[in-house]
Chain A
């Protein structure tokens, strides 16, 4: 033990005081605007996250601020991973951003909870007319419209061009897509020693299965005349699950190991030639462009079609206005500016997604064959609201019933009858609780 120490010198106290001063100074640096000078300040929480989309969004905010001196927009970066919890707290505390970027499948709770403004009377006619009715349906809850759907992405097949050509299979187009049975045959042909025809990333199997299931007429969720929703598993609902199940367990043309993977996890195997095709969201093309080895040739193909053609469910990205916002009119004007067709094109290019607006979709930049833009643009008219996104109780059904049921079915642990029983029997018990 050391010798006796003297009483504490005043230095630590001084350090504490300096630190407290610094903290107070930094805490006082408010970024918020003031209404005292007559300038309205809107907070816009954006979920743009890729380099190009962040740049495009920030640039548009700058342009707005340059041309609208009386209404300043403050860009606030949000995150897809945490947006729901953050908004939930912000709404409860009355501190939500004025303009909110989210996706339609996350809006239902907030719309039903009265946290979002009904946009019908706020938006200009030109914007309303530019976005097709089927897209507006994705953000319509009850009688109100609670978000402007502006970006969406179909699921497409990304294929290794060399393997595809070498196999001699017919190359599908949006005009002549593969049928589901044809697709199954193709994946068999593409399968060879050390290579699978396809790698299905099915860590989150529910939305992929339901969204692609629309092509075969599968709806699973059926709304009655009284507005209540019931689950029913028809022949159309079985097409996609049976195809995947048989590819994995009977044909061995789909890799079993990818069943537990997310989309990004399959890319190394795709680049390495282990899977000839991977079904991914349209925006994954950006990762492929960035990460693919030099000389790797790839192409974008439409997902297979069923009795309903190329129909596919989507949950578009949206812009909403908080109900408590004191400047709803200004917020709506800003949204209308952000979603003018040329601006929508810039946002779509930045996110590698498709715009919902018909004007933006006509832009030549989104119709080039490069990186599969033309294929995606051709699919845009086939996109429908995801089957379950406005169904109350869907999140619980998805997590507790459907996810484990689909995972077990795809791995071969249970059969189709058991899958049907669990999705419908157990599922309806969940939904009933939400619809009493």
Chain B
């Protein structure tokens, strides 16, 4: 079908898109700019986009004052592990719910939606007590367990959609060709589901990477704290902040998410498009 949009309309669309991108990118670009500004430029009445005297002092100070590397490694371990486990657990559940129709599947789907409505503060004290009984307070394993439980409903919700996008007919055709259930799942369904698994893993990873509150209350030992918790150490009372080092540390904290996203974004796009066109 030919597009009815003329050149002027198309230019307008691009302009609108550009404006939207600038809007989205503004906080990040400002963060980067702030991270490289010396203290005196941070207090300027006429702030500039580009630092007039760019400096790495904020980064030096951030590393001098807080154990960013250690905290980053803790965050990475917790986020990668939680995302991996969430996907491993959610995949068979999602397959079962997507392929079976009945009250149980409907109820399970409903529960997934309802479970997203619980606020953190409601569950944190009971959760704290349960983890204490399990001797999992102040351990990354306990934190991973919490992240898995927290990410699981939405991961399940995402994967159900991806499984439903895989045509059932393909599995039936494999069965007709003589493939068993396991062989069909491994050789036919899993490859088609791979982009969805990657997208779900990424969602769970970013959720855990950015999570703050559970890490704050569950981890006591300084050496185990995660990056979002350590970032708050640059904040003082009544909103005061050590702005330069905070911006530098926050900029560094966004890099792993961006790197992971950059590496696997093609697979995500593939996953989003999978099943979109009916052949």
Contact = CB atoms under 8 A, between A and B. Distances in A.
Partners in one complex: yes
Interface of A: 1-2, 4-8, 16, 19-20, 22-24, 26-32, 43, 47, 49-51, 54, 74-77, 79-82, 85-86, 89-90, 92-95, 97, 103, 203-204, 262-264, 267-269, 271-272, 274, 281, 283-284, 287, 290-294
Contacts of B187: 4-7
Contacts of B138: 30, 32, 95
A82 B137 CA distance: 18
A87 B121 CA distance: 13
Interface in B191-218: 191-192, 213, 216-217
A351 B23 CA distance: 38
A77 B222 contact: yes
A272 to B, nearest CB: 3
Contact of B84 (A16, A74, A281): A16
A41 to B, nearest CB: 11
B129 A92 contact: yes
A81 B232 contact: yes
Nearest to B213: A85
Contacts of B243: 264
Contacts of B61: 51
Given A7-B187, A50-B236, A271 B141 contact: no
B223 to A, nearest CB: 5
Contacts of A92: 125, 128-129
B252 interface: no
A89 B238 contact: no
Nearest to A30: B221
Contacts of B91: none
Contacts of A103: 237
B233 interface: yes
A49 B40 contact: no
A103 B142 CA distance: 31
9 contacts: A1-B192, A74-B222, A80-B235, A95-B128, A263-B239, A264-B240, A292-B40, A292-B43, A293-B43
B249 to A, nearest CB: 13
B45 A271 contact: yes
A416 B73 CA distance: 56
A49 B234 contact: yes
Given A23-B81, A30-B221, A51-B65, A89 B128 contact: yes
A94 B45 contact: no
B93 interface: no
Give the size category of B's interface with A: 35 or more
Contact of B125 (A76, A93, A287): A93
B33 interface: no
Contacts of B42: 291
B93 to A, nearest CB: 18
Nearest to A16: B84
B124 interface: yes
Given A49-B236, A86-B216, A89-B128, 5 more contacts: A28-B139, A49-B235, A95-B220, A283-B240, A293-B44
B236 A80 contact: yes
Nearest to A43: B220
Nearest to A94: B132
B240 A271 contact: no
Contacts of B128: 89, 92-93, 95
B191 to A, nearest CB: 5
A26 B238 contact: no
A19 B81 contact: yes
B112 interface: no
A74 B222 CA distance: 9
Contacts of A5: 187, 190-191
B224 interface: yes
Nearest to A290: B39
B233 A79 contact: yes
A271 B44 CA distance: 7
B268 to A, nearest CB: 17
Contacts of A292: 40, 43
A204 B39 CA distance: 25
A23 B45 contact: no
B40 A291 contact: yes
Contacts of B125: 89, 92-93
